[in-house]
A and B are shown apart, each in its own frame.
Chain A
Amino acid sequence: MSHQHKNKAPQINEARSGLVRALRGILPPESLLVDAEDLRPFECDGLSVYRQLPMVVALPETIEQVQSIMRLCHDWQVPVVARGAGTGLSGGALPLDNGVLLSLAKFRNILNIDADNAIATVQPGVRNLAISEAAAAFGMYYAPDPSSQIACTIGGNVAENSGGVHCLKYGLTVHNILMLKVVTAEGELLTIGAETLDSPGYDLLALMTGSEGMLGVIVEVTVKLLARPERAQVVLAAFDDVVKAGEAVGSIISAGIIPAGLEMMDRLAIQAAEDFVHAGYPRDAEAILLCELDGTHAEVSEYIMAVRSILSECGATEVRTAADEAERQLFWKGRKSAFPAVGRICPDYYCMDGTIPRRQLPHVLRRISEMSAEYGLAVANVFHAGDGNLHPLILFDANKAGELERTEEFGSSILQLCVEVGGTITGEHGVGIEKIDQMCVQFRSAELAQFHAVKAAFDPTGLLNPGKAVPTLHRCAEFGAMHVHHGQLPHPELERF
């Protein structure tokens, strides 16, 4: 995961100066970055171990400019990588040295809030949280809340199908958007979806959501708004055993309760978070659960009672309801600071993002702990327990020789484990460049070929974000040759060179 490409071939430089001249005809000077120092901030996204300077950065501010750029790049057959705030964690916005990095950062306007129809139309560079802030005047909000919501943009959220801590009850981005305006690789402007609850034809909105910039450039997003709940309350439960905590999650759901958020942290994550923000977490617990209930006043009261008694029956050593809003915020602060908190106790950490059927949690945690010993690398586990999305954080030191490579291998083993137990290699961070090889583990050749056919239906010449999200069959053959599993070669039908 750690390769920088520094040397540009001479033909790239020639192509570059021609392209820059043509782009100057489309964009004002301040909207085109060409000098290395100006390109530097765009060399990586939130997964900073992958870095690459783009050939050029374009910062259009109108849809017409985006269309002109795309037409130009299509004529010249220059690849384009679209980028929002660059908070993605899988290298999906990693630039190409022979490509245009298309930043949507200037598309920052909230175009319309239509409270009567509970929708908002916004430009792609609007921050996730800004939508909820603008909708607050109408007693409404936009539900998906990825942990980067202060910074991440809605365009990026759509490209990644972002989640958050409230997915179990309120769904992912795909469940909370209605319509997109998209510029194709050829520069054509399409409307996908509608302001109505469904739209004619195939569900292209589902295909676009989570497509990691491979199918089109998102230039406008219409989202659903929800009424803000009257009340939210959180219960914290401590356990002396992660298995018991996992069972408690199943018991809450079996009782017919869908919490707004249901999060689990293990001992190392608890201690790191507690040391960092003093959330009042029990430091000696093996696991804690945070269970948030929202709704009307009466509903929340009723569910709090029920959840407290379920947690006690499941063997919680302590069950605490936040006394007031300040304590509720503090409980969440501990969880939301878990990543930076872990960052304080080690030089580097690597955040994984697998999803598993919840019943597999004890098995998966046991295997991760065994692997942790094998690789000699500590792991803190943070878990969106309600929806089975596991974020193991592998602690390492990139300055120690070989440790980064060992971390990558450990991470790869965790993702393969997720696939083996019926889960997936990515719950919400996306494939990007990071997990492209693990796609070969999760999908067979015919399935990958079907993905390529989907890509070709939108972008026949493959100019949008090439090399991300879906591996070539050739790449899988090479990867498979290196990772023979139980004596079976994956993708056996492929020739290997």
Chain B
Amino acid sequence: MLDSDISSDLQQQVLEAFRNSTPLRISGSGSKAFLGNPVQGRTTDVTGHRGIVEYDPRELVLTARSGTPLDKIEAALAEANQMLAFEPPHFGPGATLGGTIACGLSGPRRPYSGSARDFVLGCQILNGRGEILRFGGQVMKNVAGYDVSRLMAGAHGTLGIMLETSLKVLPRPAASITVTRECSAEGAISSMSALLGKPYPVDGACFHGEQLYIRISGSAQAVQEARGKIAGDVLADADAFWLALREHRLPFFQHSGALYRVAVKPATPPLNIEGTWLLDWGGAQRWLFSGEDVAAIRHRVALAGGHVTVFRGGEHPVPLFQPLPGPLLAIHQRLKAGFDPDSIFNRGRLYAEL
């Protein structure tokens, strides 16, 4: 497919929907349609709005239209030896930039480099009144106005249709190795936590199947040096391992039943919840297959200061995202009304009230 700018067409669709209060279901490739509540409404397909608008490797900034496939962006970056440092999961062959930012998902490098929202510098959106608005910009430092661009990350399209996003990009590390060793969950958690206090260039840490995996990336010298300080054997074909982890293709993810994403402080000891666990993000993001009741899981995770998303296989009408306290929900509702007064965008995808 060729690059194309269909923003005026999208604007017409939104203006019409706004006039008639017709709900719209914003759709990219559908790779992350499993995430969140089902949305009713006329499909607004953003995949035709595609193309890299600007990319100058020396500026470390890339701007692309929302429908641009992530593959294409990653290929362009790779040519200049750069990358999206938040290592976004694709979860499907056609994953788009817009869907990636709207879902706000980040891969294994997240605790060490930052999240999808951390790399957002600016955006162009269509709000619920059909207005095309720009926020942020193409520069690293910008404190003019509220940070609406980062607000879009993880909003699941409920505040507007993203048209364009500018992202900070980073050089790819010159070298990377992964070391692995057998240990208990407790041992893994304390090792991963201890690494947070060390100046080694760790950029991935995962515990899975009684094995701890630590990825070290940076200059050739730095990787060599850190290798001597972190115990374990070098993992062959490490890239395939981290890719499979990012894309949920490790055997662990083949379980049946609901998959929960449990976010906790990284040093939180293993939680006493029946099920099968995989720890990513140095222990800060834990994946769980469990037959237990979601309310019971949420209760126990909340006691540890964490929160739970029903990531896949959740059964309606269980709230898939962690419910919000009343006063925060009220702010969410007012924000939603401020961007999308007739509630036409992705109604209910994130929370029933939005």
Contact = CB atoms under 8 A, between A and B. Distances in A.
Interface of A: 114-119, 138-140, 160-161, 163, 167-168, 171-172, 174-175, 184, 188, 190-192, 194-204, 206-207, 209-211, 214-215, 227-230, 250-251, 253-254, 256-258, 295-299, 301-303, 355-359, 384, 386-389, 422-431, 435, 439, 442-444, 446-447, 450-451, 453-458, 460, 469-470
A232 to B, nearest CB: 11
Of A198, A204, A356, most B-chain CB atoms within 10 Å:
A198
Contacts of A199: 307
Nearest to B335: A457
Contacts of A446: 131, 133
A209 B147 contact: yes
Interface of B: 56-61, 80-81, 104, 110-111, 114-115, 117-118, 127, 131, 133-135, 137-148, 150-151, 153-155, 159, 170-172, 174, 193, 196-201, 218-222, 224-226, 263-267, 281, 284-285, 305-307, 309, 321-325, 327-329, 331-332, 334-335, 337-339, 350-351
B144 A425 contact: yes
Given A201-B321, A424-B139, A443-B145, A296 B226 contact: yes
Nearest to A423: B139
Given A175-B118, A210-B147, A196 B218 contact: no
A333 to B, nearest CB: 23
Contacts of B80: 254
Given A206-B150, A388-B140, A454-B335, A197 B111 contact: yes
B305 A388 contact: no
A167 B140 contact: yes
B133 A447 contact: yes
B159 to A, nearest CB: 8
A119 B171 CA distance: 27
Contact of A197 (B60, B153, B263): B263
A337 to B, nearest CB: 22
Given A117-B266, A447-B134, 10 more contacts: A114-B265, A115-B197, A200-B307, A201-B321, A202-B154, A202-B335, A210-B146, A355-B141, A359-B56, A427-B139
B108 to A, nearest CB: 12
Given A203-B117, A450-B339, A195 B305 contact: yes
A435 B144 CA distance: 9
A491 to B, nearest CB: 14
Contact of A168 (B131, B137, B140): B140
A424 B147 contact: no
Nearest to B154: A203
A389 B143 contact: no
A196 B146 contact: no
B284 A196 contact: yes
A193 to B, nearest CB: 11
B196 A207 contact: no
B324 A426 contact: no
A204 B331 CA distance: 9
A116 B114 contact: no
A211 B221 contact: no
A227 B56 contact: no
A457 B171 contact: no
13 contacts: A174-B118, A190-B331, A230-B199, A296-B222, A355-B141, A355-B142, A357-B61, A424-B139, A427-B141, A428-B141, A447-B134, A451-B145, A469-B145
Given A256-B174, A439-B144, A196 B225 contact: no
A258 B142 CA distance: 19
B143 A117 contact: no
A175 B147 CA distance: 12
B58 A457 contact: no
Contacts of A295: 199, 201, 218-219, 222
A355 B139 CA distance: 7
Give the residue among B142, B143, B307 with the most A Cβ atoms within 10 A: B143
Contacts of A388: 59, 139-141
Listed from nearest, the 3 A-B pairs whose CB atoms lie closest are A453-B338, A206-B150, A299-B222
A203 B57 contact: no
B265 A227 contact: no
Contacts of B307: 194, 196, 199-200
B322 A357 contact: no
Given A195-B265, A201-B328, A447-B133, A299 B335 contact: no
B153 to A, nearest CB: 6
B128 to A, nearest CB: 11
A310 B264 CA distance: 43
A256 B263 contact: no
A184 B60 CA distance: 37
A422 B138 contact: yes
A426 B140 contact: no
A197 B115 contact: yes
Q: Pick from B57, B104, B146, B323 the residue with the most CB of A within 10 Å.
A: B146
Nearest to A139: B197
B264 A160 contact: no
Contacts of A253: 58, 60, 171
Contact of A227 (B199, B306, B335, B351): B199
B143 A426 contact: yes
Contacts of A228: 199
B14 to A, nearest CB: 13
Nearest to B136: A424
Name the residue in B131, B193, B196, B334 with the highest tally of chain A Cβ atoms < 10 Å from its Cβ: B196
Nearest to B309: A200
Contact of A358 (B59, B142, B151, B338): B59
B264 A196 contact: yes
A228 B143 CA distance: 27
Given A202-B151, A202-B154, A457-B331, A256 B171 contact: yes
B220 A302 contact: yes
B158 to A, nearest CB: 8
Given A296-B199, A299-B201, A426-B143, A206 B327 contact: no
A202 B197 contact: no
A429 B61 CA distance: 22
Contact of A190 (B264, B328, B338): B328
Contacts of A458: 331, 334
B143 A161 contact: yes
B299 to A, nearest CB: 15
Given A200-B324, A201-B351, A203-B151, A426 B199 contact: no
Contact of B115 (A198, A229, A230, A426): A198
